Amino acid sequence: MMQIFSSSEQQIEELPPYQHIRENEFLSREHRKQEDEDIAVCVCKFDADNPESACGERCLNVLTSTECTPGYCPCGAHCKNQRFQKCEYAKTKLFKTEGRGWGLLADEDIKAGQFIIEYCGEVISWKEARQRSQAYEIQGLKDAYIICLNAAESIDATTKGSHARFINHSCQPNCETRKWNVLGEIRVGIFAKQAISVGSELGYDYNFEWYGGAKVRCRCGAATCSGFLGAKSRGFQEDTYVWEDDDDRYSVEKVPLYDSAEDEPSSKLLKTIDKSKSHNGDVINEYPMAMNGSVKCEHQLESASLMVQPLESAAMEGVVMNGVKTEESEEMKLYSQDTQQAFRQNNAMISRIRSNSACRNYRIGPSSTPRKRAQHHSNGKLKHLAQKQVDVKHVAQLLASKEAQDELLINEVPSFRSVCGLVELRNDAASQLSSLYNEIRPAIEEHERDNQDNVATSVAEKWIEASCLKLKTEFDLYSSVMKNLACTPRRTPGQARPCGGGDNEMKYLEF
């Protein structure tokens, strides 16, 4: 049963200690001042007969998730696109849930898409967020209040925040988080995903990343509940031990769990907070493990979420394509070394870009290294990925057969000349990529090593395009080499392979 407190005094008594704020507080830098040239002015015209005309859905700024700047909007005081600035929140009420601590419910009917409340807190650097997370973990705070703001910063609502900090996670959420550009700063709002009737609890999908420590059983009650906070996250799945069917050592029941109800923040907490001053005198706040709201960016901001997982898996696990793992011959190893190196380099960068998405989290605890990659099954059991082994020797023998050679020749096996052309293409693509990297490097080196993901989306897109081009040229090159190997007599180790048009022209393939 829900217990709703209508008396604010009772709430104050019962609520865990935190300071209520209605605007973000910037701890690691000054609040940005919007420059004139950065102000986006829409072309709306207020028409008294049509209220939608004053910066409604079709306003250019609304379409780009940017609030109008007072004094610049042609609709003046009628502008409806200043909801964060004017704190135009829906009516909500705090209440005590069963098993999930405090929660927030709708205190009026809320329309689909409506802005409900801003997620306010302390804006801190990602590094500070990570340190705080660890401190919170050590101090035993189980509730998590840090969400990602952008690639370099987070919002921590642990000790200071708005009522949005009380919104619980739901696997079937009626709300979602969205990022808006407000006077040059990105701010996070909670928006209704659907119509919400008065009295309903608000919930959004935290997209909680789990990186170790206790696992929190999710009590959202949704039919599609994933069981644990962060159960869908990579950290959660990778950390799990592989166990055989007859070995229940690592069954879900044995996983350390805590119930958020049993771990209500108590007054003990405040004392710990007081004692926890960082070297510069800032309070190090309590924090449990690794919570993070995935913040949906509206409109163009959405494209910040880049998912290039397949490349990463390839780099980590060798050559795995479509579930077929190839066993490399010595020759293939030589040829593929370069490719793997390229994969690794790409991935170092791509993973930085990838984490430019909103769901950035903090690595906590020692147990975050995957022991074995495994696939999670709904029954809690894990099963190794089936990987079909390809007998490369057999393939090579087949390729060396007369029929195969004829077949390849019919299909225009590329000559070494064309291989050279492909080497050139590959090299061009590689140098394009490295010059792009040099272009990006100054931007990322401005930040600390941990924050190297602060790369603009346009640059990230360029990077991905260049990486794809390079990978394609490599693929073409290596497949061409393989075809040539298949129909060319083996050379003795001392013999160099000629490359070029004429017999006299001797170039050497360089991979």
Ligand X SMILES: C[S@@+](CC[C@H](N)C(=O)[O-])C[C@H]1O[C@@H](n2cnc3c(N)ncnc32)[C@H](O)[C@@H]1O
Contacts with ligand X, residue ranges (CB under 6 A): 100-103, 142-145, 165-166, 168-169, 216, 218-220, 260, 291
Task: Give the residue with the Cβ less far from ligand X, 121 or 414.
Answer: 121
Task: Give the residue with the Cβ less far from ligand X, 97 or 339.
Answer: 97
3-state secondary structure of 146: strand
Nearest approach in angstroms of CB 258 to ligand X is: 8
Strands (DSSP E) contained in 265-373 are 296-297, 320-321, 324-326
Q: How far is CA 412 from CA 51, 306, 408, 416, 470, in A?
A: 67, 38, 6, 12, 23
Neighbours of 76 (CB within 10 A): 12
- The DSSP bridge partners found for residue 201 are 105
Nearest approach in angstroms of CB 370 to ligand X is: 23
Task: Give the residue with the Cβ less far from ligand X, 84 or 95.
Answer: 95
Task: Give the residue with the Cβ less far from ligand X, 213 or 414.
Answer: 213
Nearest approach in angstroms of CB 206 to ligand X is: 7
Q: How far is CA 88 from CA 81, 98, 121, 451, in A?
A: 10, 29, 17, 33
Nearest approach in angstroms of CB 216 to ligand X is: 5
Task: Give the residue with the Cβ less far from ligand X, 273 or 433.
Answer: 273
Strands (DSSP E) contained in 306-391 are 320-321, 324-326, 375-376, 382-383, 388-390
Handedness of CA 469, 473, 476, 482 (dihedral sign): negative
Task: Give the residue with the Cβ less far from ligand X, 101 or 235.
Answer: 101
CA distance 99 to 127: 31
Report yes or no: 39 and 52 within 8 Å, Cβ to Cβ: no
Nearest approach in angstroms of CB 42 to ligand X is: 34
Task: Give the residue with the Cβ less far from ligand X, 5 or 72.
Answer: 5
Nearest approach in angstroms of CB 122 to ligand X is: 14
Which helix (H) or strand (E) element contains residue 223? none
Nearest approach in angstroms of CB 289 to ligand X is: 8
Task: Give the residue with the Cβ less far from ligand X, 24 or 326.
Answer: 24
Nearest approach in angstroms of CB 21 to ligand X is: 15
Task: Give the residue with the Cβ less far from ligand X, 153 or 201.
Answer: 201
CA distance 147 to 153: 9
How does strand 320-321 pair with strand 296-297? unpaired
CA distance 162 to 243: 44
Task: Give the residue with the Cβ less far from ligand X, 225 or 395.
Answer: 225
Environment class of 461 (CB within 10 Å of its CB; exposed 0-12, middle 13-18, buried 19+): middle
Nearest approach in angstroms of CB 103 to ligand X is: 6
Closest CA to 182 of 69, 35, 293, 44: 69
Task: Give the residue with the Cβ less far from ligand X, 81 or 97.
Answer: 97
Residue with the CB atom nearest ligand X in the bound state = 101
How does strand 375-376 pair with strand 146-148? unpaired
With b meaning 16 or more CB within 10 Å and e meaning fewer, what string describes 335-361? bbeebeebbebbbebbbbbbbbbbbbb
Closest CA to 116 of 29, 51, 177, 168: 177
In the block, which residue shows the tokens 């969205």? 178
Nearest approach in angstroms of CB 90 to ligand X is: 18
Nearest approach in angstroms of CB 354 to ligand X is: 25
